[in-house]
Amino acid sequence: MKTNFMDQLNLKASHKKSLLIEDNPIVCVALSCMLENMGCDVDVAIKGVAALSLLKRKAYDLILTDIDLSDMSGIDVIKQIRRDDRHKKTKVIVQSASLDEALKEDCFLAGCNGVFEKQKPAELLEMLKMLVK
């Protein structure tokens, strides 16, 4: 029996706290729904500065950030996240509409745990299966 993509989202991450950093409202809704369907509690920040402010007050199990935010680069956000000892082990996934090998390498060097293209949600699903157990 073949399962569809939405059926696979029912992974139940047992209320993992997640932070979505995304400035595109359509992508934000889609990714929030995906995370919520997996059982994650989702907070949303539409700017990098707002996300960093949330991270000063709250710990997260998973951070999903866009690489091209309106106020700062997602790579800069990751670097600041990794400077804080409380977030050294937090899983961070970077998303982008277009990724080349150099950008992927920069993301991993900054400290992310995974990278995916927004047009390939199945890649995100596979990463989440591994990271939110």
pLDDT tens string 68-86:
999 999 999 999 999 999 9
Asked whether residue 11 carries a pLDDT value surpassing 60, the answer given is no
> Quick one: pLDDT at residue 58?
94
What is the pLDDT confidence band of residue 36, given thresholds at 50, 70 and 90? Answer: confident
> Quick one: pLDDT at residue 119?
67
The residues, ordered by sequence, that sit 6+ positions from 111 with a Cβ below 8 Å of its Cβ are 78, 79, 81, 82, 92
pLDDT tens string 118-127:
767 676 777 6
Within the chain, residue ranges assigned H as helices are 5-8, 25-37, 48-57, 74-83, 101-110, 121-131
> Quick one: pLDDT at residue 35?
87
How is residue 120 written in tokens? Answer: 């390939």
> Quick one: pLDDT at residue 7?
40
What is the pLDDT confidence band of residue 129, given thresholds at 50, 70 and 90? Answer: low
Indicate the helix (H) or strand (E) that contains 41.
strand 41-45
Domain edges within the chain: 16-131
Give me the chain's average pLDDT, please.
84
Q: Which fold has domain 16-131?
A: Rossmann fold (3.40.50)
